[in-house]
Amino acid sequence: MQVLSFLSGIAMPMIILLIVIFGVVEKNKVFDTFLEGAKDGISIVINIFPTLIGLFLAIGALRASGIIDLIISFLSPILDLINFPSEIMPLALIRPISGSSSIAVAVDIMKNFGVDSTFGLMASVIMGSTETTLYTIAVYSSSVGIKNTRFVLWASLLADFAGIVTSVVVCRLFFC
């Protein structure tokens, strides 16, 4: 265990050292290349900043408005009919939108039901098998200037839906 701790402590400095050594061997100006990359990074941040502000504002409004609870109460009869746990629905609705909000919802599920409960396990599997789709599409498409994402959103949301349903089914098969 001490060896693993030591290796993880020196991993990043060793990578940086290897990059510098490789740059010197290849006769590249390592610091100038670093500065050019930093400039590119700053310009990407400036390009995606308005998108991020809009997403964060929308997520905050969604959580504060109580619309999630309204959607869940509206969908409860359908969820009961198909045997989908309504306790997981807040996570299923928030996960494609925001990573940090979905972590908060997953932690809340685990606090209320326990980490080893069926709902805690479902929340864990959902977190691992889905993506923050809207955030990812917004950041990537705005960073390279894509205005028309065509079917990317629908395909990604379908993949999230499949991940959520599969997570619930697999957890019910293996853990119930």
Residue range 12-51, pLDDT digits in tens: 999 989 988 988 898 888 888 889 989 998 988 888 788 7
Cα(38)–Cα(41) distance, integer angstroms: 5
- Alpha helices for 1-83 (secondary structure H): 2-25, 30-65, 67-81
Cα(76)–Cα(123) distance, integer angstroms: 18
- The pLDDT tens digits for 120-159 are 999 999 999 999 888 888 888 877 878 787 888 899 999 9
* 79-87, long-range: CB < 8 A, 24+ apart: 84/165, 84/168, 85/118, 85/119, 85/122, 85/168, 87/112, 87/113, 87/119
Q: Which tokens is 165 given?
A: 């349903």
Cα(135)–Cα(153) distance, integer angstroms: 11
φ, ψ of residue 109 in degrees (nearest 5): -60, -45
Cα(158)–Cα(164) distance, integer angstroms: 10
- The pLDDT tens digits for 67-117 are 888 888 899 899 889 989 999 999 999 899 888 788 888 998 999 999 999
Burial (CB < 10 A; 0-12, 13-18, 19+), residue 139, is middle
Task: Give yes or no for a contact between 125 and 138, defined as CB atoms under 8 angstroms apart.
Answer: no
User: Which residue type is seen at 121?
Assistant: L
- The pLDDT tens digits for 68-80 are 888 888 998 998 8
Cα(128)–Cα(39) distance, integer angstroms: 33
